[in-house]
């Protein structure tokens, strides 16, 4: 049998130290992590890392900070099960394992000089915040920027302080919506797709970045297509169960594609024929 030789760079786990923990909601925490020896993560917005919590397991998590950050990076993690709950119990100074960054993120060089329509639903804001912060740090390289953010209720809203700043940006159109209002909520109520027709875009020069629960994709894509956004300019991040993160175990396979390597960010034109993708 042919022997498989793994490159250090593919499976090498780097040590990461937790520098900061911010409780964002009841279920989500933002972790700031520094790699051993001051190494830079060197990721693209939309890529993910494999995070090991020693004694609990390893999971894929999107990088939530911009590559323009120096010295550390951030991940926003929802407590969902064994590993994420164990991660939530860690404290500042604790060590975790990091592999990656892995996968294909948002194609920054292609997005530059174009307009962006960023649509985030729920935890989908975690990878998109990396893109948003990158764009804000390099604002002159991008055209018009529209951001739509939807979540279950105002209590579930992530990155609240930053959102206040995004809203103040003169050259950014920002709208948010919640499924269920709380008594103090004065904003819009409904599903995120209802915001899409209200955005004024030039479809030929607009790239849309869409991340959220699978149920949102079909109706959102329909809205975008009806506004004449080309299929190749609709970018979607798909979530699949992952084990290796590097195209070896087949856990994340969608027909001939490995979500961990060919994605997680895909353009709609490339995957529209894959029923399982949605």
Residues that bind ligand FAD (CB under 6 A): 48, 57, 59-62, 75-78, 80-84, 123, 126, 239-242, 264
264 binds, among ligand FES, ligand FAD, none (CB under 5 to 8 A by kind): ligand FAD
User: With respect to ligand FES, which residue has the nearer C-beta, 210 or 259?
Assistant: 259
Q: Does 272 bind ligand FES (CB under 6 A)?
A: no
Q: Select the residue interacting with ligand FES from 258, 264, 271, 277 (CB under 6 A).
A: 258
Q: Which residue in the shown chain puts its C-beta closest to ligand FAD?
A: 81
Of 246, 266, 254, the closest CA to residue 102 belongs to 246
Asked whether position 102 contacts ligand FES by CB under 6 A, the answer is no
CA distances for 13 relative to 72, 104, 165, 166, angstroms: 16, 20, 36, 35
Q: Please select the residue that binds ligand FES; options are 1, 184, 250, 273, rule is CB under 6 A.
A: 250
β-bridge partners, 117: 146, 208
Terminal Cα-to-Cα distance of the chain (whole angstroms): 37
Taking the complex as a whole, the smallest distance from the CB of residue 53 to ligand FES amounts, in Å, to: 18
Supply φ then ψ for residue 139, to 5 degrees: -55, -40
Residue from 15, 104, 251, 272 binding ligand FES (CB under 6 A): 251
Strand-by-strand arrangement of the 48-53 sheet: 57-62, 48-53, 95-102, 14-23, 28-35, 73-78
Pairwise CA distance, residues 70 & 124, whole Å = 23
The correct pick among 107, 154, 230, 247 for binding ligand FES (CB under 6 A) is 247
């Amino acid at each position: 049998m042919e022997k498989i030789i793994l490159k250090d760079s593919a499976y090498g786990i780097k040590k990461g130290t937790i520098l900061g923990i911010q409780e964002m909601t009841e279920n989500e925490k933002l972790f700031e992590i520094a790699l051993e020896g001051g190494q830079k993560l060197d990721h693209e917005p939309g890529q993910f890392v494999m995070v090991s919590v020693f004694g609990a397991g390893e999971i894929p998590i999107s990088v939530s900070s911009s590559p323009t950050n120096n010295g550390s990076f951030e991940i926003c993690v929802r407590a969902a099960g064994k590993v994420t709950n164990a991660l939530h119990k860690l404290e500042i100074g604790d060590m975790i394992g990091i592999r990656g960054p892995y996968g294909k993120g948002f194609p920054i060089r292609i997005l530059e000089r174009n307009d962006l329509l960023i649509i985030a639903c729920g935890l989908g804001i975690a990878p998109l915040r990396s893109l948003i912060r990158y764009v804000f740090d390099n604002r002159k390289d991008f055209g018009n920027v529209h951001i739509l953010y939807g979540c279950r209720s105002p209590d579930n809203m992530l990155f609240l302080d930053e959102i206040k700043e995004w809203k103040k940006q003169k050259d950014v159109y920002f709208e948010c919506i919640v499924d269920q209002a709380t008594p103090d909520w004065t904003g819009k109520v409904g599903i995120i797709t209802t915001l899409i027709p209200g955005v004024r875009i030039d479809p030929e020069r607009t790239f849309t970045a869409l991340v959220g629960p699978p149920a949102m994709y079909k109706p959102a894509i329909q809205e975008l297509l009806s506004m004449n956004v080309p299929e190749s300019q609709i970018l979607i991040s798909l979530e699949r169960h992952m084990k290796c993160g590097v195209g070896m175990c087949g856990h994340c396979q969608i027909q001939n594609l490995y979500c961990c390597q060919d994605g997680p960010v895909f353009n709609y034109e490339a995957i529209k024929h894959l029923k399982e993708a949605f």
